[in-house]
Copies of this chain bind each other. A is one copy, B any other.
Amino acid sequence: MTEKQQIIIRTALKLFYRQGIHAVGINEIIQQSGVAKKTLYSYFSGKEALILAALNYRDEIFMGWLSQTMASTNPGQPALLAMFHGLDDWFNNRATALGNFRGCFFINASGEYTDPQTPVHQACKAHKANVHALVLQHTKLVCENQAAALQLADTLCLLKEGAITTAMVQEDPGAAHRLIPLVKTLIQPALCTSAPHIADT
């Protein structure tokens, strides 16, 4: 991975995230990168390869930020809560690693590539699986059995997606903060038994 390659990927991600993937052309990317077109095409076979590289880079950034955010406190319950405080930081542009909030790059990309068969959609799905796996590590510490841990991870991830989407579409940066009382309730160890959610009727 050369320095030029890094610059191109970083620039592409910035533009794709800000303007949408289809709305950004190769010419704009090379211009903003200060790189010749031939250089770009020597590193990437085409636009799709660059998109996939940008998705991969964003995955690294996001997973790094999230795992660091969750590692800043104790594993389990506090880490899960820290995730939602982290989302609140992100929505209010206090998470510098993630840049200015414009929704989730992977959700946005999926919306442009709705066919699940496309490599882009698959990459987005893979990123969400990475996040889920990280969350699951912590729910396992809170729940008394595997099934309950999985279910809690599902719910928390779904809340996360809902908060991101609400914050973006509705221009509502308080979406994550308002969830914190509910999250606190959900992750109370006593409630994470085999019963699905608090009470299952």
User: Which residues of A are at the interface with B, using a C-beta cutoff of 8 A?
Assistant: 17-20, 22-23, 102-103, 106-114, 116, 121, 124-125, 128-129, 151, 154-155, 157-166, 168-171, 175, 178-179, 181-182, 184-185, 196-201
Contact = CB atoms under 8 A, between A and B. Distances in A.
Copies of the chain in the assembly? 2
Q: Chain A interface secondary structure, helix, strand, loop or mixed?
A: helix
Contact of A107 (B107, B175, B182): B107
A114 B20 contact: yes
A179 B200 CA distance: 11
A111 B113 CA distance: 11
B201 A175 contact: no
A18 B114 CA distance: 7
24 contacts: A20-B111, A22-B23, A102-B114, A103-B110, A103-B111, A103-B114, A108-B111, A108-B112, A109-B111, A111-B111, A111-B112, A111-B168, A112-B112, A116-B171, A121-B169, A128-B169, A128-B170, A154-B178, A155-B178, A155-B182, A160-B162, A161-B161, A181-B200, A185-B199
